[in-house]
């Protein structure tokens, strides 16, 4: 059994990790930590876990010591030091935060206002979006787990961009996220009466996931991709829908695009390419690690419209982190993640 440690276990990504690891046949939770709730039981913070996980939150050091792999769900800036400690101790480290996601320190400085504390450490890290970078993850010990928007947006158009079927200029990612993406801390914007029956964009063209999506699309295309990314807040608990718009290249037919998607995703268990006429719906991937993708043609403007739906807390956070753990430890990637999304 893989011994799992979770740092930041009482945040939403952390507690979701606990839920998924509990059902994982090859891993078990060795220790959890939380700055806010140190000394308290997880089930006191989340009563739904009563009798299923009554572990007490310890400190980070205890977690590192007791675990083979440490998952960190921390505010950005705090993972670099922890990551170093884990790697130095020979442990695997999977970071659900942003510290290791961007390869360019300049971009990290621009969007997060920080710097790389240990450049060698960053050089060892790998970006953990398995559908694209599986081969690079194998054998690594330091994984930067992607963000939620940055998982579904590239998954929506990868086959088209990899095969050079769309223009890389002018791509628009119009994304809509459930409110768990904003975390557990109550705010005016997440206060029930003010979010319920509401819907709005936020951080228009200025969200920190922008350079991360661009980094992935640039790698996939071999070009320098700049996108327009606009996130919106949905009055639902879970899920992200990315609606991505791109110009189809002259001479490329929609049938070619569909075939490219079919081929690209034919062996990807977690990506479900929907039939023509169906639209990806966040309702259908909740609580699971699936990404449902639907593609659509606007023949009048000759655009590709690609929709990708994920559960922001599973494929967009905890589930993908476990998928990365499975790869690192040589398990079948699906282990512990074959979950039927509930019908309601």
Tell me if 238 contacts a copy of itself by CB under 8 A.
yes
| The binder of a copy of itself chosen from 90, 113, 193, 251 (CB under 8 A) | 193
Tell me if 32 contacts a copy of itself by CB under 8 A.
no
Tell me if 191 contacts a copy of itself by CB under 8 A.
yes
- Render 24-37 in DSSP notation, one character per residue: -TTEEEEEEE-STT
Closer of 22 and 59 to a copy of itself (Cβ): 22
| The binder of a copy of itself chosen from 120, 197, 255, 267 (CB under 8 A) | 197
Shortest Cβ distance from residue 227 to a copy of itself (Å)?
Answer: 7
Catalytic positions, written as ranges? 148
Going by C-alpha positions, the residue among 270, 263, 279 that lies closest to residue 327 is 270
Tell me if 200 contacts a copy of itself by CB under 8 A.
yes
Tell me if 208 contacts a copy of itself by CB under 8 A.
no
Specify whether the CB–CB gap between 99 and 83 falls below 8 A: yes
Tell me if 296 contacts a copy of itself by CB under 8 A.
yes
Tell me if 16 contacts a copy of itself by CB under 8 A.
yes
* Separation CA 116–CA 124 (nearest Å): 13
Tell me if 340 contacts a copy of itself by CB under 8 A.
yes
Tell me if 338 contacts a copy of itself by CB under 8 A.
yes
Of 14-22, 27-35, 104-112, 129-137, the segment contacting a copy of itself by CB under 8 A is 14-22
Tell me if 272 contacts a copy of itself by CB under 8 A.
yes
Shortest Cβ distance from residue 100 to a copy of itself (Å)?
Answer: 23
Of 27-35, 50-58, 64-72, 82-90, the segment contacting a copy of itself by CB under 8 A is 50-58
Specify the 3-state DSSP secondary structure of 65.
helix
Question: If you search the block for the tokens 């002018």, which residue do you land on?
Answer: 170
Query: Where in 115-154 is the site for a copy of itself (CB under 8 A)?
Result: none
State both tokens at 292: 């449902």
Give, for 78, the enclosing helix (H) or strand (E).
Answer: none
Going by C-alpha positions, the residue among 37, 40, 41 that lies closest to residue 50 is 41
Maximum alpha-carbon separation in the chain:
63
| The binder of a copy of itself chosen from 4, 287, 320, 328 (CB under 8 A) | 287
Tell me if 267 contacts a copy of itself by CB under 8 A.
no
| The binder of a copy of itself chosen from 38, 236, 256, 258 (CB under 8 A) | 236
Tell me if 91 contacts a copy of itself by CB under 8 A.
no
Query: Where in 98-117 is the site for a copy of itself (CB under 8 A)?
Result: none
Closer of 19 and 208 to a copy of itself (Cβ): 19
Taking each helix axis from N to C end, the angle separating 319-328 and 12-22, rounded to the nearest 10 degrees, works out to 50
The Cβ-side half-sphere exposure at 331, using a 13 Å CA radius, reads 17
Tell me if 280 contacts a copy of itself by CB under 8 A.
yes
Tell me if 337 contacts a copy of itself by CB under 8 A.
no
* Separation CA 177–CA 147 (nearest Å): 12
Tell me if 13 contacts a copy of itself by CB under 8 A.
no
Question: If you search the block for the tokens 């839920």, which residue do you land on?
Answer: 19
End-to-end CA distance of the chain: 33
State both tokens at 58: 């310890």
Tell me if 35 contacts a copy of itself by CB under 8 A.
no
State both tokens at 262: 């079919």
Closer of 80 and 151 to a copy of itself (Cβ): 151
Specify whether the CB–CB gap between 141 and 69 falls below 8 A: no
* Separation CA 162–CA 157 (nearest Å): 9
Beta strand ranges found along 46-119 (DSSP E): 57-58, 69-72, 92-95
Tell me if 186 contacts a copy of itself by CB under 8 A.
yes
With CB under 8 A, what is the number of residues at the site for a copy of itself? 92
- Rounded to 5°, the CA angle 312-71-185 comes to 55
- Over the window 244 to 263, marking each residue x when it contacts a copy of itself by CB under 8 A and - when it does not, the resulting string is -x-x----------------
């Amino acid at each position: 059994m893989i011994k799992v440690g979770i740092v930041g276990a009482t945040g939403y990504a952390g507690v979701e990790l606990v839920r998924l690891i509990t059902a994982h046949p090859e891993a078990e939770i060795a220790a959890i930590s939380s700055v806010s709730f140190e000394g308290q039981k997880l089930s006191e913070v989340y009563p739904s876990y009563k009798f299923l996980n009554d572990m007490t939150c310890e400190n980070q050091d205890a977690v590192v010591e007791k675990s083979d792999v440490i998952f960190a769900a921390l505010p950005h800036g705090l993972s670099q030091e922890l990551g170093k400690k884990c790697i130095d101790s020979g442990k695997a480290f999977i970071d659900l935060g942003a510290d290791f996601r961007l390869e360019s320190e300049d971009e990290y400085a621009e969007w997060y206002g920080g710097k790389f504390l240990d450049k060698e450490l960053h050089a060892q890290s790998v970006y953990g979006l398995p559908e694209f970078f599986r081969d690079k993850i194998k054998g690594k010990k330091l994984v930067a787990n992607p963000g939620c928007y940055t998982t579904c947006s590239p998954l929506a158009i990868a086959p088209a961009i990899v095969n050079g079927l769309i223009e890389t200029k002018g791509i628009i990612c119009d994304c809509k996220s459930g409110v768990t993406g904003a975390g557990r801390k109550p705010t005016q914007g997440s206060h029930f009466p003010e979010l319920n029956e509401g819907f709005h964009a936020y951080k228009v063209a200025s969200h920190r996931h922008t350079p991360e999506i661009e980094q992935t699309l640039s790698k996939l295309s071999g070009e320098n991709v700049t996108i327009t990314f606009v996130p919106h807040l949905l009055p639902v608990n879970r899920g992200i829908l990315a609606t991505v718009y791109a110009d189809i290249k002259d001479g490329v037919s929609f049938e070619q695009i569909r075939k490219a998607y079919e081929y690209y995703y034919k062996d990807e268990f977690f990506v479900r390419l929907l039939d023509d006429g169906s639209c990806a719906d966040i309702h259908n991937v909740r609580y699971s690690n699936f990404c449902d993708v639907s593609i659509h043609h606007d023949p009048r403007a000759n655009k590709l419209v690609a929709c990708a739906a994920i559960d922001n807390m599973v494929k967009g956070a905890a589930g993908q982190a476990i998928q990365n753990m499975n790869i690192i430890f040589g398990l079948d990637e699906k282990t512990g993640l074959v979950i039927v999304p509930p019908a309601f």
